[in-house]
Chain A
Amino acid sequence: MTDTGTAVGGRAPAAGAPAGDPTATTTAIVVAGAPAAGGGAAALLPWERGTVLERLLGQLDDLGIRTVCVLVRPAHEAAVRAVAGNRVRVSPDTAADLRAIAEAAAAPGGGGIVILPGEIVTHREALAGLLKDPRVVTGTLLGGGWRARQFAFRVRSKRGRVISAASPYHTAHRPTSAFLGVLKVAAADRPALVTSAARLAELTADPSAEWRDELERKTEMWRGALWRAAHRGGEEADEGDGEDEPIDEFADDPEEPETPADPVLSAEDDALLREKLAAAPEDATALALVGLVRSGTHVGVNRLRRLFWARPLSAAAVARAEVDILDYDEDKVLLDSAVKASDGFFTTFFVSTYSRYIARWAARRGFTPNQVTTFSVLIGFLAAAAFATGERWGLVAGAILLQAAFTTDCVDGQLARYTRTFSKLGAWLDSIFDRTKEYACFAGLAIGASRMGDPVWTLACAAITLQTARHFSDFSFGAGQSRMIGDIEQPPLERSLDAAGLAAAERRARAQQEPPAEQPAEPPPRPEPAQPDPLPRRVLRAWHTIDRLPGVRWVKKMAAFPIGERFAAISISAALFDPRVTFVVLLSWGGFAVLYTLSGRVLRSIVR
């Protein structure tokens, strides 16, 4: 690939950035407009012996990003130039930042672009997680636990796609996580970025009344959040990293003290709020994200997991970050987050607990995920062959081998996530070999049973049909959901409310028998629906509510009979009983799972 060659400050490509990789991110735009408390740019706050910006530029360089452009306010130009050399571009305000982003995206050639604020403090691995993951073509770094990151703009994501994003002037209805400032835009999505950033530049130059109201609303929201945090007492709990779980900012929380109409903050909190308010309108990255999402671009999701992240706006906050980041064992976090968050009960508690260490061992020995996958399917075939003997020893050996195959199967994914060697081929091998192993074992068990004079071929045919049908229901349901998400009509950038927010405002307006609100008025604290919701919707809501009870989530996962549970059921029933029992167990549990998922999906399909 021909890079822009004469890139400002261009340097030799770093190892790890394969030349010619069309998914590679080659350009970084660092937005350093946010002011620090007490003057100066937040990006220039001191970090160890240098500055926050120097640290970030070093990380980007290490990640093989050759073209870097730092957008800086005229007042800070000299200071930033001392750090970033000739990679600086003067940009008087946020509108100019957005114009610069549009121009950089319109420049011919080059690969992907990453846009991020200059004051960001996080691990290199957090940036690498987003930039080096080829599965996320265009995407953002998100984090859960927004209470701990109370000022980060929120987003709502669904099925790994951002469907709504907030900015100083935009809201995200029923957010699911916080936007952590890093936005990666693939080469293919650069045209969308050009158009939306240019439009945003026009709008930002002179914010409308609607936009100014929204910023005012956010100010009150932050003020309330700070007040509540101060009056809650006790430590601020990090809520972990909820996958697309909605966190409703207006949700009833019995622990939450009632916020007064005009909360008075402590001097410290008040200073914090003022710092944030000075920086918020400068957040060109958040605006660029809104632009992409509103233009219908597929913006994927990459999660911070449990790494450190901060956007300090004062010397004191940087000093705190310097200390806090030391508490994080990067390798341990990486290894822990290599475990898929959405796995089932058996996989999570009986396999991933130790398989991650095998994954680390494999990484150190230099094994590739695809080698491990292939090894896993070979063990699976051995298990099937052992089952096919029909003898007791064969059934026991097959059971053990199948578990070994399943463990290696978990290792390959964890190895891929740990070493970030994702590939489409790898994902395909993993999926197709999982099916191969499972159905080969069905065949082995049925052959073994026939040898022992107990033909179970009817059951075997039923089991393979049931499992395939279950998978196809999942595939089609997933595809339908993704399609629906893609079909969401995004409101124009002028509107502060997103599609869901506008719909909710309209519902409220109708309920109050008033003309539809033209402006995004402060939502009433408890919007009462005019009439009770239909029964299916109430059942669904109750269904989600019981998830909060301890253990219920795991029971629900087990009921769906995921792969870990299936392989465990095969191993245990084959080793202790015989193939007939295995098939009966597979068919009964699988049949129950069909009824279980079916009822959920039918309910959802009716509600829609």
Chain B
Amino acid sequence: MSATTTVAPAEQRPQLPDNVAVYRDDGPLAQAIGRALGPNVPVPAMALLVLGAGAILALAALAGSAASLGLTAAGVAVLLLTFGITSVRYPKASFHWAVPSLVRVGEYATLAWLAGTADALPAAFALIAALTFRHYDLVYRLRHRAEVPPRWLNLLAAGWDGRVIIAWLLLALGALPAAMYVWAGLLGAVSVAETVASWRRFERSRATAGEFDELEGEGE
């Protein structure tokens, strides 16, 4: 065996994806919004992210479960615009660490708020729990195996943008909570199954990709 075959497939090393981009979990729509509007909106990325997450939290706190379908649609639109634009526009590098958390807060809060208006909070919890598996898996996959999930899985998960739209459609169709439980179950099952399968492949190949980053104290 030659010395170099023991490392990750050569094409993986140089183009390790940017952590923030992976953690954000943008879908195609968010990226399209970013490409279309990103360069034209002269508002700092950080302000947009705080505005988007803040708007959803404020709406959920003030209107709460009494929000009309129209108001929820407006909330979703604000989130898509503000977060979508930042999918191509990042804040200054030293503030990158704040981006993924804000995206998660915006997404999860929207899902909970939408479900709350149909009295389906337990279903929202189930969906968020399934999503946390996906999101932690994005981190651990990159950390331990220097990989990102396969394209089909990302498309199936639909990105945060796709998910808030689907949730709103389910709400508008009156399909909550049943459809959200089914969604959560499917998403969770497929994510877990794919992860287990990819770990089995990884363990079989015994390849040692990337550097193990223990992130002492902060990795948990």
Contact = CB atoms under 8 A, between A and B. Distances in A.
Interface stretch (A104-112, A224-232, A321-329, A585-593): A104-112
Interface in B75-130: 92-102, 104-105, 108-109, 112, 116, 121-122, 124-126, 128-129
Contacts of B133: 432, 435-436
B122 A476 contact: no
Interface string B192-220: 00000001001100111001111111111
Interface residues of A, number: 71
Contacts, number: 185
A108 B2 CA distance: 7
A160 B214 contact: yes
A468 B23 CA distance: 12
Nearest to B116: A458
B3 A471 contact: no
Given A435-B132, A476-B20, A470 B122 contact: no
Contact of A472 (B135, B137, B203): B135
B6 A22 contact: yes
B68 interface: no
Contacts of B218: 474-475, 477-478
Contact residues of A: prevailing secondary structure? helix
B105 A424 contact: no
Contacts of B178: none
A23 interface: yes
Nearest to B212: A135
Contact of A190 (B3, B108, B199): B3
Nearest to B99: A476
A476 B199 contact: no
A277 interface: no
Given A461-B121, A473-B101, A479-B19, A187 B3 contact: yes
A259 interface: no
Most chain A beta carbons < 10 A, residue from B93, B97, B139, B206? B97
Contact of B3 (A109, A340, A450): A109
A472 B101 contact: yes
Interface residues of B, number: 59
Nearest to B92: A605
Given A23-B208, A475-B19, A465 B216 contact: no
Contact of B212 (A108, A424, A425, A460): A424
Contacts of A1: 1
A22 B207 CA distance: 8
A424 B144 contact: yes
A137 B101 contact: no
B129 A464 contact: yes
Closest 3 CB pairs of A and B: A22-B6, A457-B121, A342-B217
